[in-house]
A and B are shown apart, each in its own frame.
Chain A
């Protein structure tokens, strides 16, 4: 499924890389521990987290993740957005909880 379709289905707010939404998402990973994401996420995963600081961008970049959804109305910090633009990592936000977002995406990708 295209990232753009996920954005539409979940009414996500796109914060960076609006032109990077044609990426394919094949699965997802939910975690707020960055070492866990480094170890266990896979390429082209959509990452669901409540972390908002700059390091999420490098983690997503190194792992080749399709994008980051920040949940529960949390907002990415300024330097996070700046770095995401440089590394071309789409960041999206939502008011929904990680549980809801993961559940919906799981249904969509099934």
Chain B
């Protein structure tokens, strides 16, 4: 278990990079499973691990569905887990619209798979403590999500 009393709150404990390939549905969820394992090894609380896995999976799916390629970066400190997913894709024209529950630009075959239901970005926003999205049309999208670790959130609020 992480002893958050003995380590400075911003000290990096674990970091990692996981590559993502657009269109590779067979590998979908692997970044999420990878991160879940890493966080479980750290002895983090089950709910924190679950939330990190959910937001990672959704971010991963967006790269697979919409982008050419991307990367997942994660940084764990005693304070928080930071997850950054960056892609080379066509970008999002209207971020406000994309964040609306149920709004999706996914093609029909993706919807048939049960993805592209317009729940991904709202799920990511709802499940993380901090959520930032930045997108440039024609270049790509970066999503940054932070999940506070137990009791650190209470101290900071």
Contact = CB atoms under 8 A, between A and B. Distances in A.
Interface of A: 31-36, 38-39, 43, 49, 51, 53-55, 57-59, 61-64, 79, 87
Interface stretch (B49-57, B86-94, B138-146): B49-57
Most chain B Cβ neighbours within 10 Å, of A38, A57, A64: A38
A33 B117 contact: yes
Contact of A39 (B25, B114, B127): B127
Determine chain A's interface SS by DSSP, over half rule.
helix
**Which 4 pairs of residues, A with B, have the shortest CB-CB distance?**
A58-B29, A35-B119, A34-B114, A62-B53
B150 interface: no
Q: How large is the interface on B (under 10, 10 to 19, 20 to 34, 35 or more residues)?
A: 20 to 34
Given A31-B114, A55-B113, A61-B33, 7 more contacts: A35-B117, A53-B113, A54-B28, A58-B30, A59-B29, A62-B54, A62-B57
Contacts of A54: 25-26, 28
26 contacts: A32-B114, A33-B117, A34-B113, A34-B114, A34-B115, A35-B114, A35-B115, A35-B120, A35-B123, A36-B119, A38-B123, A39-B119, A39-B123, A39-B126, A39-B127, A51-B113, A54-B25, A55-B25, A55-B28, A55-B115, A57-B29, A58-B28, A61-B33, A62-B33, A63-B53, A64-B50
